Structures are given as structure tokens and as C-alpha cells.
Structure 1
Amino acid sequence: MNRILPIYQITESMQQLLLQDIDSHNREEVIGIFQEKIEERGQLLEAIEPPYTEDEEKLGRTVVQMNKGIEQKMKYLFLALKNEMKQVQQQKKSTTSYSNPYKNVQNMDGMFLDQKK
């Protein structure tokens, strides 16, 4: 029996999960499912021990290659989330600035400063 096969199957399902369109509406759900799969795969990885058969080594190399692609897609997802958070912060800032434009202005009413030297 191939001990790497369940790990391969989970990794493949993780890859398929990241291939679908991920937007702000379903991102939280996708990340939750992805995290569950990572935990499940981690438990399976801890359970296997050498020696490995030739088939298991081949499948293991395939899993490593798939994992590199998954990491790149996760980085892209993380950057998209980070950019969205920056946009939200900028929008909050501009909304606050619009509602109270003189909040951050330093005002010296009634005070005269002589600039001459």
C-alpha cells in the first residue's frame, strides 16, 4: 500500500481549491477549508516513516512540486488580501477627512508670529 497516496490526494484537493475564483465574498470560507486540509496533511506527514518505496518517492517528488505551486498561489492570495486591507484603511482615512476636514490642521487663531530675523 502506498503511504504517500493520501497526502498526494489532499495536496491535489488543496491545489484545486486554490484554482477556483477567490474573491472577498468566499475568501474566508476557502481559507478555512484550506487550513483544515493543511492540518489533515500535517498529521499524515507525521505518521509516515522511512524506508520509502520507489513509487512513494516518485509520488513524494510530485507532492513537493505541487506544494511549490500552492505556496505561490497562497502568496498571491495574501498579497491581494493585504492590498484590500490597505484600500479599506485609505477609504476610512479619506472618509474621516471628508467628514471633518479640519481635524488635523494645527490652528493658531489669534496668534501672530513674526517671521523676520
Structure 2
Amino acid sequence: MNRVFPIHQITENMQQLLMQEITSHNREEIIVELQEKIEKRGKLLESIAPPYSEEEEKLGRTVVHMNQHIEKQMQQLFTALKNEMKQVQQQKKSTTSYVNPYKSVQNTDGMFLDKKK
């Protein structure tokens, strides 16, 4: 029986999961599902050992190739998430400065201080 086939199936599912449109609404679900698949695949990878048949080697090469695409897609997802987090932080900062524009001003220019007692 082919020991690499379940790994190939999980990798294929991961690739299909990342191919669908990822929005801010479904991103968390996709990341959780992807993380589960990565853990499951990791356990399967630990359980197989050489020698491999020709068919297993061929499937292994396709898994490696698919994995490269998956890594690129995950990197793009991570970059988009980082950019969105930066944008949210900037919006918070902008909102705070709009609500209280003089909060960060530390200048006492034009103010009279009576130092006599």
C-alpha cells in the first residue's frame, strides 16, 4: 500500500483551501483548518520511513512541488494579515488624534506661569 498517498491528499486539500477567496470574514476559519491539516500531515510524515517505492517517490516529488506553492500562498496570506493589522493600528491612532487633537502636544508656548508665591 502507498504510504505517501494520505500525505498527498492532505497537501492537495491544503492547496485547495488556499486557492479559494480569503476575506477578512473567513480568514480565521481557513487558518484554523489549515493549521489542523499541517499538524495531521506532520504526524503522517514522521510515521513514514525509507525505503520508498517508485510510486511513493513520484508522489513525494509532487507533494514537495505543491508544498512550495502552499508556502508562497501562506506567505501572501501572512503579509495581507500584517498589512491589515498595520492599517487597523493606524486607524486607531488617527481616531484618537481626531477625538483629542491636543493630547500629544507638550508645548507650553503662550501660556503664562505665575512662579511668584
Per the normalisation by structure 1, the TM-score is 0.93
What pairs with 1:18-29 in structure 2 (closer than 5 Å)? 18-29=18-29
2:88 maps to 88
> What one-letter code is carried by the residue in structure 1 that aligns with 2:112?
G
Letter of the 2:13 partner, please give it: S
CA deviations on 1:9-28 (whole Å, 9 max, x unpaired) are 00000000000000100000
Q: Give the structure-2-normalised TM-score.
A: 0.93
| Alignment of 1:71 onto 2:71 | yes
Correspondences of 1:1-117 after superposition (within 5 Å): 1-108=1-108, 109-110=111-112
Q: Identity of paired residues, percent?
A: 72
Gaps spanning 5+ residues in structure 2: where? Answer: none
One-letter code of the match for 1:22?
A: I
What RMSD over aligned residues (CA atoms) do the two structures have, in Å? 0.7
Q: CA deviation at 1:107?
A: 2.3
The Cα offsets for residues 69-113 of structure 1, whole Å up to 9 and x where unpaired, read as 0000000000000000000000000000000000011121226xx
